[in-house]
Structures are given as C-alpha cells and as structure tokens.
Amino acid sequence: EVKTLWDTCLVKITPKCALNIIAVVFGNGTLSDLCCRDLVKEGKLCHDTLIKYIADRPSLIAHETEYLKKRDEVWNHCVSISKTL
C-alpha cells in the first residue's frame, strides 16, 4: 500500500523539490516557493505519507514527533503562500 502511494505521489513532484522538502523537514534546508507550489499540487495525503515513511526509519524514529511537527509546518506554510502565487 505504501509503495503504491509512494509511486503515485512521487510522480507528482520533481526530484529536486522532493529533496528540497526532505532537507527542510529533516535538516536545515530552505523551501523555495516553486517547491511549495509543487507540494500543494501533490496533496496533503502524499506529503504526510512520504514524510511518515521516511521518519519511520530506525535511524530517525527517535525524533519522529519532531519531524511530523515540521512536516505539518511545511505544509501549512506552503498552503498559505500558494494562495499568493
């Protein structure tokens, strides 16, 4: 099920933007407006599922709550600025 969603979701966003979003959620990246627009087009279900899938990795699981909070912050930011793009 996750693989199907992964395959379905990843075709909706450029690899560059996917990496950009991952860098923001799991690191100190800065999200571009263009990638925000792609993220909103991808949809919240895709965004939530992909970030949760990555956050469930054994090396990241200790900080999963923090990553999921950041995931939601990124989504809300992108939704708010996509209305002005």
Q: How confident is the prediction for the chain on average, in pLDDT? A: 89
Cα separation, 70 vs 65, whole angstroms: 9
Mean pLDDT (whole number) for 25-50: 92
pLDDT at 10 over 90: no
**Among 68, 69, 39, which residue's Cα sits nearest to residue 53?**
68
Give residue 76's domain range: 2-83
**pTM of the predicted protein model:** 0.85
Domain count, the chain: 1
Cα separation, 43 vs 39, whole angstroms: 6
Do the Cβ atoms of 55 and 68 come closer than 8 Å? yes
- % of the chain at pLDDT higher than 90: 56
Q: What is the pLDDT of residue 1?
A: 66
